[in-house]
């Protein structure tokens, strides 16, 4: 597998996937991640669920889910409003902020690596 080629294909897109451009589907994760990460970086994680940020926090989660088709068809989420995400946002705001420090290198070295389908170098 040519990793560089695969990354470039993800970024540039192929077929109907137009890549990691700001107005394309894959960027919806980046917008959502950056919103929540900004609270972590500003050491204001607990403020995600305060009255000034709760609606925007719910919107971020909702739009991310929507962009991946989670708010269509027979999904129960389709029948819910933004208020449905309040408890999720409260739970996220109470998470241990060090969870944001988990990275691929840490996951690769974890004790469950032996259960992976692909060998870990």
pTM comes to 0.69
Q: Quick check: 34 and 60 in contact, CB under 8 A?
A: no
- As given in the structure block, the two tokens for residue 106 are 């840490």
- In tens, the pLDDT along 51-63 reads 999 999 999 999 9
Counting Cβ atoms within 10 Å, is residue 48 exposed (0-12), middle (13-18) or buried (19+)? buried
Q: How far apart are the first and last CA of the chain?
A: 15
Mean pLDDT of 3-8: 77
- In tens, the pLDDT along 23-53 reads 677 778 888 999 999 999 999 999 999 999 9
């Amino acid at each position: 597998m040519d990793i560089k080629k695969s990354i470039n294909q993800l970024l540039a897109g192929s077929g109907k996937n137009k890549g990691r451009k700001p107005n394309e589907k894959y960027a919806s994760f980046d917008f959502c991640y950056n919103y929540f990460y900004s609270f972590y970086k500003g050491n204001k994680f607990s403020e995600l669920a305060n009255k000034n940020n709760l609606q925007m926090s719910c919107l971020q989660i909702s739009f991310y889910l929507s962009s991946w088709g989670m708010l269509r068809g027979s999904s129960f989420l389709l029948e819910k409003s933004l208020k449905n995400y309040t408890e999720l946002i409260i739970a996220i705001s109470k998470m241990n902020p060090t969870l944001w420090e988990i990275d691929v290198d840490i996951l690769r070295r974890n004790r469950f690596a032996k259960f992976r389908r692909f060998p870990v170098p």
